[in-house]
Structure 1
Amino acid sequence: MDEPLFDPPPDDEPGEPPAADPTTYDPAFFEPHQPPALGDLMEGGCMVREGPDAPPRAVTPGYGLPEDPADHIVQLREVEALARFAEIRRVALVADLVEAAPPVERERVVGCGGEGTPDVPEFLPMEIGAALGMATERARLLVSDALDLKWRHPRLWNRMVEGDMPPWRALTVARMCHGLTLFQVTRIDDAVGDELPDLAWARARRLVEGEIAAADPVAAAERERARLNRRHVGVGLRLGATGAMDLFGVLDVADARQLDATLARMSEDLAKAGDESDLDARRARALGLLACGGLQGAAPVVHLYLHAWADGEVARLEGHGPLPVGELGRLLERCTVRFTRVIDHRESVPTDAYEVPPRMREQLNLAQPYEVSPFGSVRARHSDMDHTVPFAMGGETAPHNLGPLGRASHRARTHGGYALSQPTPGRWQWRTPRGQCFEVTNRGTRRLPG
């Protein structure tokens, strides 16, 4: 497992384009190349580099497909083995990196995994997330799971490294056991670590849940009571939908049964009144009617930020997504609507104070809806406003010198050796302590040559 996962092409490969200038955008630099034949792919690796300093990228997979269905099956097995090897390699690299990497500048070492795992540099998950194209919090979870798996589940780790178990299953088991002591986890790993790879995932998960409960019955009972005490109902974004949101929650059994019976009765009444939609849609509508009619006193005020253009066919509901203009009447039929004119950023006057005025912050929220860290996922309304040129070094409190950063990214930029510049307003360029370079705009993150 010490050889590199993929071999880069030779340096003298003909037609290799030059490295891109990180301050300019060269469309030719990002044009897809002519892919090799499938046999060459399987024999020589499936990663290429567009330039000597460019990151590796995958070739187009849809070429050279076989004619015989039996060959499809053979290649599917080969691709599955390659994908599993890549996932194993990723987990092993993450676990090894967080153990070996020293802190940078004023960076602290903090606990990330469960009991018995080593501490890690505080901002290293941000660097790992940038390398893998994922948000920092998701990368921090990967680091925690990888450490738990390697240091607390040795049998399961070895079975994963040998290719007997998909990494995602092993990492999920490690996460399920995260809150247990090292002694309890060791007993579970000894009991079932060699059995899990041979079980279907549903059976394996139930087996682990049973072992967790048996490891500490008192704690299992407390967790069940705590779950009941954490009853909640929430509303969240429904990905891919334009006029719907998800409702989720945890209720006690009596309340859940009562709600279910009430929705069933109301859905029947709606059908008798002429509602021809299916049962699920009627139940959803019934719950909406309960929300409108079951309130004591005035309904609470809810703020929806809707961005629309006079000649546009699609509006944008902030925090939700696109919505056809024709649907606005239904959405706003019971709302009090306040129109706000378009904010002109040229009207913004810099301030001598460090604090960002509310109107200027609203301008920045509209211009850059998410944090400007690489692959950041924290909404601007929940972020700090960072001075690109620090205020203490003469940087203005003005839109051209500000950008939203989530608290973790803001701390990494301040204390962890991350270099940040804003060559033009709305265009942030990062260099991480370990040499990765990125450009972030409101269209997302683009890797730059180091």
Structure 2
Amino acid sequence: MEDIARTLADQLVKADQLARLGEARKVMALAELASNYHLGLDDVVEVLAEKQVPVGDGAPSVSEYLCLEVAGLLGCPPSAAAGKIADAVNLRHRHPTLYRAMIELQIGADRACRAAHKCQDLPADVAEEVTAKWLRVQHRFGWTAAFNRLEKLVIDADPARAAAKERRQRKQLGVHVWGPYEGTMNLTGRLETLDAKYLDAAVDRLADILESEAPELTKETLRAKALGALANPAYALALLQRAAQPSLVDADATAPSDADAAAGLRRPDQHGCRGHLCGTITTPLHKLRPQLGIAVHLDVDALGDLEGAARIEGAGHLTLDSLSEMLRGVEVKVQPVIDLGDVPPEDQYVPSISMKQAVSLAAQHELFLYSNRTSRGLDLDHTRPYRPRTRGQTRVGNLAPISRRVHRAKTAGIWKVEQPKSLVLVWTSPLGYRYEVHPREGTRRVVEDCAA
């Protein structure tokens, strides 16, 4: 058994080395591609001309359209492709020692790229010095510990720059709800340090209150429910007020003493509210929830009965049982259903609000390669160019939600697009790769039949 285990362990090490080699070659290919990808759009209007995007001090700029090409090649969203390109170019040109170590498999490509990204605000010579110093010790530590050491080296290299970056970060705050998964969603965000600590304390406090009602739940689950309670401030305040009430006592204890009665004083109501939590909520709590507008898509069978799963716009799919449980006690106002087959074509160039809504319901995400950008707020482009005085061109079957960069690339003729059927687009890249993008089935590479 020991011999078998040792053999398998050796195979694992070899597989890891091959994976490292593959990732290193991918970074090298990206850096080389960035240096050789030029579309040469000299004969287009200035607004459509190819822009060169700066990567960092000491590194060459790259074509803004390269991320669209790489998105298809690597099967990732254009935003992720842009990050991979920037990391590869940054690593190669600003961190030659680290880049060489990656090629020689002394460090994994993911670690090397992450380290280069951490130093992106430093001048090229300082960045190279910092990562070269870090390279000598990073292999002794796990991921988190290694990058904690790198963070200290970055601050020590230029404390004033690090302080300025921290000030900028305090202005770049945000909270994001994302990633629907089996009836739940993820919540991430960046708060100022004190706000984050206050929020953590408030969540803990509410979780302790909720524990008395649901002692079987774990602390983490109670904290999640407490944060959900904070989304309804009236409910959160009601919980805090209830927890602040004294325990019930005998009626005699609430009666004023003889001396107090003689002075005309009354003992405070033992069930009244205390201190900063004073106040009475008279409106039913469910009426004080924030208003929420969501689109729920349901399928019905031939008899009109519900079947399958419910699709909630921006929140993925839920079983009908989970949906009914979540809506219990919630006031629901049903809006008219939009039947995409009944949306009439329009003659004007700019789609109406109802047309925009219909397209965004039919295509939840941008109809470009592997994009995960939601369609609301994107450009609605006419797949076949709009021709004045031709009726019915603005319709679901000739519109596609795309981002501004993709729109420019299409208008400039860099990327070609066809729409063989409603909301199904076939894109052809500048290098000749073809991809079909479907609003529900996603992206697939179109392989041409060589015999055709």
User: What TM-score comes out, normalization by structure 1 length?
Assistant: 0.77
Contact 2:340 2:362 in 1 (8 A): no
CA distance in 2, matches of 1:303, 1:181: 48
CA distance in 2, matches of 1:401, 1:331: 37
CA distance in 1, matches of 2:146, 2:25: 23
Matched, 1:241 2:160: no
> Residue 433 of structure 1 corresponds to which residue in structure 2?
430
Paired letter, 1:242: G
> Residue 327 of structure 1 corresponds to which residue in structure 2?
322
Deviation track 1:49-106 (CA, whole Å, cap 9, x = no partner) reads: xxxxxxxxxxxxxxxxxx9433322322222222111111111111001111222434
Q: CA deviation at 1:347?
A: 2.3
Change (3 A) 1:347 1:313: closer
Change (3 A) 1:154 1:409: same
CA distance in 2, matches of 1:199, 1:259: 32
Contact 2:183 2:322 in 1 (8 A): no
Change (3 A) 1:96 1:259: closer
Matched, 1:308 2:298: yes
> Residue 39 of structure 2 corresponds to which residue in structure 1?
103
> Residue 344 of structure 2 corresponds to which residue in structure 1?
349
Change (3 A) 1:230 1:134: closer
SS in 2 for 1:179: coil
Change (3 A) 1:336 1:358: farther
Written as runs of structure 1 = structure 2, the 5 A alignment for 1:251-262 is 251-253=192-194, 255-262=195-202
Deviation track 1:408-438 (CA, whole Å, cap 9, x = no partner) reads: 2222222251110011223211111111011
Change (3 A) 1:380 1:217: same
Paired letter, 2:19: A
Written as runs of structure 1 = structure 2, the 5 A alignment for 1:10-409 is 68-105=4-41, 106=44, 107-197=49-139, 199-232=141-174, 234-246=175-187, 248-253=189-194, 255-273=195-213, 275-292=215-232, 293=234, 299-309=289-299, 310-392=305-387, 396-409=393-406
> Residue 262 of structure 2 corresponds to which residue in structure 1?
none
Matched, 1:447 2:445: yes
Paired letter, 1:449: V
> Residue 415 of structure 2 corresponds to which residue in structure 1?
418
CA distance in 2, matches of 1:73, 1:162: 22
Paired letter, 1:317: I
CA distance in 2, matches of 1:257, 1:335: 31
CA distance in 2, matches of 1:132, 1:364: 28
CA distance in 1, matches of 2:294, 2:77: 26
Point out where structure 1 has 5 or more consecutive residues left out of the alignment: 1-66
Point out where structure 2 has 5 or more consecutive residues left out of the alignment: 238-280, 300-304
Change (3 A) 1:439 1:231: closer
CA distance in 2, matches of 1:272, 1:345: 49
Contact 2:417 2:425 in 1 (8 A): yes
Paired letter, 1:252: T
CA distance in 1, matches of 2:395, 2:346: 7
SS in 2 for 1:114: coil
Paired letter, 1:237: W
CA distance in 2, matches of 1:264, 1:229: 26
Contact 1:84 1:166 in 2 (8 A): yes
CA distance in 2, matches of 1:337, 1:274: 27
> Residue 11 of structure 1 corresponds to which residue in structure 2?
none
CA distance in 2, matches of 1:97, 1:418: 18
Contact 1:156 1:193 in 2 (8 A): yes
Deviation track 1:321-374 (CA, whole Å, cap 9, x = no partner) reads: 111212223322354423244433332222221111111222211222111112
> What's the RMSD between the two structures over aligned residues?
2.6
Q: Which moved more, 1:158-167 or 1:115-124?
A: 115-124
Q: Which moved more, 1:336-345 or 1:217-226?
A: 336-345
Which structure has the larger Rg over C-alpha atoms? Answer: 2
Paired letter, 1:425: S
Change (3 A) 1:281 1:357: same
User: What TM-score comes out, normalization by structure 2 length?
Assistant: 0.77
Count of aligned residue pairs for this structure pair? 382
Contact 1:235 1:248 in 2 (8 A): yes
Contact 2:52 2:61 in 1 (8 A): yes
Change (3 A) 1:150 1:406: same
Contact 2:294 2:312 in 1 (8 A): yes
